[in-house]
Amino acid sequence: MSLLHRSPEAARLDSRREFIKKAAAGSLLVALGGGLYRLASDDLTRAARAQKRRDGRPRLPPGQKVIEELRPMGGEAGSARTDDFRLKIHGEVERPFTIDWKQLLAMPVTQQVADVHCVTTWSLLGATWTGVQLKYLAERAGVKSGARHVIFEAAHGYTANVRLDEALRPDVLVAYELNNKPFPRRHGAPVRGLVPDLYFWKSAKWLTGIKFVQKDEPGFWETRGYHNHADPWREERYG
């Protein structure tokens, strides 16, 4: 019998029965969760589209949608143990050096709110990132005048290249906390790069080195079809 031919009361009872059955099976809660999540995300996306950054650019780059939590995007993880951590600052510098975890924590701390944009079209807005400015490490090492690019080096040979002038911006960090907590291993613990204004693949997880070079060295994704520069506002997604 079609629901149309029944009293509203009976239809309501029926859908209530359906509701309980699905909830017991777990499927309804998943559907509800997904539905609510999409609603929140749509609202955040709409709100962000109406906002402008201090530099005048729209808060949300074209083709991006806002998500509420950092999404793990994989990669071959390095050790998350702080005892294993070493960061080598080298290449075109006067005074190369290597620091361990304690030495990193002893350096001047920068805490900032920053937005990040993944090439797969999600953006995470307004998270708090804590770490040491790459600019500070560069000054300590004494970057030679011929250097033009910075190579972020990570576990298992992952690299990402960033132009020197962009890498020296004050919001580029060697980061060790997200929202005042250490990174989970899948997000790059103990230390990852943060280059908020380029697509997120430039933010290398499980960071092991910062290398200054004269000649550009396209990295892991840049040699696999992705754009060498990766500006989200110009949608520099593919090379």
Nearer to Mo ion, 89 or 118 (CB): 118
Nearer to ligand MTE, 107 or 155 (CB): 155
Distance, in Å, from the CA atom of 101 to the CA atom of 190, rounded to the nearest integer, reads 9
158 near ligand MTE, rule: CB under 6 A: yes
Q: Which of 201, 206, 212, 226 binds Mo ion (CB under 5 A)?
A: 201
Per the DSSP assignment, residues forming a β-bridge with 111 are 130
Closest approach, Cβ 201 to Mo ion, in A, equals 4
Nearer to ligand MTE, 75 or 196 (CB): 75
Closest approach, Cβ 156 to Mo ion, in A, equals 16
85 near ligand MTE, rule: CB under 6 A: no
Using CB under 5 A, list all residues that contact Mo ion: 73, 201
Q: By CB under 6 A, name the binding residues for ligand MTE.
A: 70-73, 75, 118, 154-155, 158, 187-188, 200-201, 203-206, 221
